[in-house]
């Protein structure tokens, strides 16, 4: 098998049997990036020399039968939001000076490094990860490997495109309103947003309690392995949690048949493309027939878009106010968000936080009746690249088409997107699996069950 087609788990198995070495796998990934990324724009920074040095060190450890961690020697990409020592972190923005010391690892980079993973490069993001497609004045447009005319989604679109196109088996992204799940759905991969604080973040995101970090992979099993690596607390993030009591890699195989599952086609307020709805409903029927007790029921809260907009724009304005000269270079859409955020008062912000709390309480009550909630991940397939909203839709900002994802940033719950089919045009469709806060293991187990069922 070509190393670029292998999962992280398969690579570790090949290293164990010496059928493949970390240097061979890393070289194959780097060569594929050189070969095709000009068409997709998944990476904004690639460091071949560092990657090969890390791969050689990993190879020595494997030869000594002393791997450093769970995924020692596996190539990984890091979204250009996470500080990574030795590499610039420009966050998709021309307002960030690249000529400065880059000596600090974020918790994500530190955990990956301590596990012995091979850092291939940094993946593209819209400026400051502000929207659900991936393009920026600094990095250009990131395109979908399924059809380069279309968006890869965002804001972790570079990560999703890299994994989907064989430019690395796994990546780490961020999700403040769907930024892991949306591109995962559009590109046909797995994207997991764990409970807020499960993966520590530093520096703190300007989007505060909305912001999560999480794995983006080809399989749920690989996502669980990355969760085991990334889930240690870090003192620099006061919201980070104590280590989980059991491993996620063991949780994916737990028995889930018989649990109570709810299916909401649209959360009661979202617009869903008929073809997307049909594909998801076909998957739901198979899930129900396989032993998960599925009932159709909406969670019962109204669309919290206004509250999300207040929190999102306030976060953007807070960060941009600290960036001298940003007004001259910033993405025009982000500039409008900046202006919107500056108009909000502290009272409006706290009222929006109260709405988030009320949605969280509603979901808590819902999970007293249903262990898991299933929805489409996104109500539409991928659309034309270079646009923040689908052309001709009449929408004016991205949350209007990301209605199924941002509510679960307000509630801070774990949610995963897994591919469950394709449209007649061959475009991937994702199923979103949502669990109670701190039930990350259950979400992964149900996702693995569905993944195996639909394989």
* Residue 179 annotated to the active site: yes
Q: Tell me, yes or no, if 39 is annotated catalytic.
A: no
List the catalytic residue out of 21, 155, 264, 313: 155
Place of tokens 């028995």: 255
- Three-state SS string over the chain comes to CCHHHCCHHHHHHHHHCCCCCHHHHHHHHHHHHHHHHHHCCCEEEECHHHHHHHHHHHHHHHHCCCCCCCCCCCEEEEECCCCECCECCCCCCCCCCCCCCCCCCCHHHHHHHHHCCEEEEEECCCHHHCCCCCEECCCEECEECCEEEEECCCCCHHHHHHHHCCCCCEEEEEECCCCCHHHHHHHCCEEEECCCCCCCCCCCCCCHHHCEEEEEECCHHHHHHHHHHHCCCCCCCCCCCCCCCCCHHHHCCCCCCCCEEEECCCCCCCCCCHHHHHHHHHHHHHHHHCCCEEEECCCCCCCCHHHHHHHHHHHHHHHHCCCCCHHHHCCHHHHHHHHHHHHCCHHHHHHHHHHHHHHHHHHHHHHHHCCEEEEECCCCCCCECCCCCCCCCCCCCHHHCCCCCCHHHHCCCCEEEEEEEECCCCCEEEEEEECCCCCHHHHHHHHHHHHHHHC
Distance CA 417, CA 215 (A): 11
Q: State the catalytic residue, choosing from 179, 205, 231, 313.
A: 179
- The one catalytic residue in 79, 122, 131, 193 is 79
Q: Is 99 exposed, middle or buried (0-12, 13-18, 19+ CB in 10 A)?
A: exposed
B/e letters for 396-433, b = 16+ CB within 10 Å, e = fewer, are ebbbbbbbbbbbbbbbbbbbbbbbbbeeeeebbbbbbb
For residue 155, indicate whether it is catalytic.
yes
**CA–CA distance, 289 with 237 (Å, rounded to integer):** 43
In sequence order, the β-bridge partners of residue 260 are 293
Do you know the residue count of the chain? Answer: 455
Using only the alpha carbons of the chain, give its radius of gyration: 20
Number of neighbours of residue 288 by Cβ within 10 angstroms: 15
Active-site residue list: 79, 155, 179
């Amino acid at each position: 098998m070509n190393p670029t087609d292998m999962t992280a788990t398969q690579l570790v198995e090949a290293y164990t049997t010496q059928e493949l070495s970390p240097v061979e796998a890393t070289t194959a990934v780097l060569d594929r990036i050189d070969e095709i990324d000009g068409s997709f724009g998944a990476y904004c920074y690639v460091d071949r020399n560092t990657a090969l040095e890390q791969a050689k060190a990993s190879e020595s450890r494997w030869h000594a039968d002393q791997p450093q961690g769970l995924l020692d020697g596996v190539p990984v990409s890091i979204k250009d939001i996470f500080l990574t020592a030795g590499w610039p972190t420009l966050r998709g923005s021309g307002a960030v000076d690249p000529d400065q010391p880059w000596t600090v690892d974020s918790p994500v980079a530190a955990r990956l490094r301590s596990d012995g993973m091979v850092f291939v490069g940094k993946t593209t993001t819209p400026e400051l990860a502000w929207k659900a497609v991936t393009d920026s004045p600094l990095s250009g447009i990131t395109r979908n490997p399924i059809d380069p005319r279309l968006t890869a989604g965002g804001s972790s679109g570079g990560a999703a495109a890299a994994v989907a196109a064989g430019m690395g088996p796994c990546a780490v992204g961020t999700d403040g309103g769907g930024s892991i799940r949306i591109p995962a759905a559009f590109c046909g991969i797995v994207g997991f947003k764990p409970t807020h604080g499960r993966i520590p973040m530093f520096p703190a995101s300007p989007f505060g309690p909305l912001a999560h970090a999480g794995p983006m992979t080809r399989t749920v099993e690989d996502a669980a392995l990355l969760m085991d690596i990334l889930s240690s607390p870090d003192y620099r993030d006061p919201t980070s949690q104590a280590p989980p009591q059991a491993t996620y890699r063991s949780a994916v195989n737990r028995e889930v048949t018989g649990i109570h599952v709810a299916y909401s086609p649209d959360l009661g307020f979202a617009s869903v493309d008929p073809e997307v709805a049909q594909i998801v409903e076909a998957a739901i029927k198979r899930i129900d027939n396989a032993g998960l007790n599925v009932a159709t029921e909406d969670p019962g809260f109204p669309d919290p878009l206004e509250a999300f907009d207040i929190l999102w724009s306030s976060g953007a304005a807070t960060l941009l106010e600290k960036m001298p000269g940003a007004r001259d270079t910033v993405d025009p859409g982000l500039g409008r968000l900046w202006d919107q955020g500056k108009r909000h008062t502290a009272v409006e912000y706290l009222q929006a936080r109260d709405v988030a709390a009320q949605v969280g309480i509603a979901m808590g009550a819902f999970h007293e009746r249903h262990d898991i909630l299933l929805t489409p991940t996104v109500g539409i397939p991928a659309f034309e690249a270079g646009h923040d909203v689908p052309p001709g839709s009449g929408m004016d900002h991205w949350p209007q088409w990301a209605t199924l994802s941002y509510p679960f940033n307000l509630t801070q719950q774990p949610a995963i997107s897994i591919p469950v089919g394709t449209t007649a045009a061959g475009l991937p469709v994702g199923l979103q699996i949502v669990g109670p806060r701190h039930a990350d293991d259950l979400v992964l187990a149900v996702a693995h069950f569905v993944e195996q069922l639909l394989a």
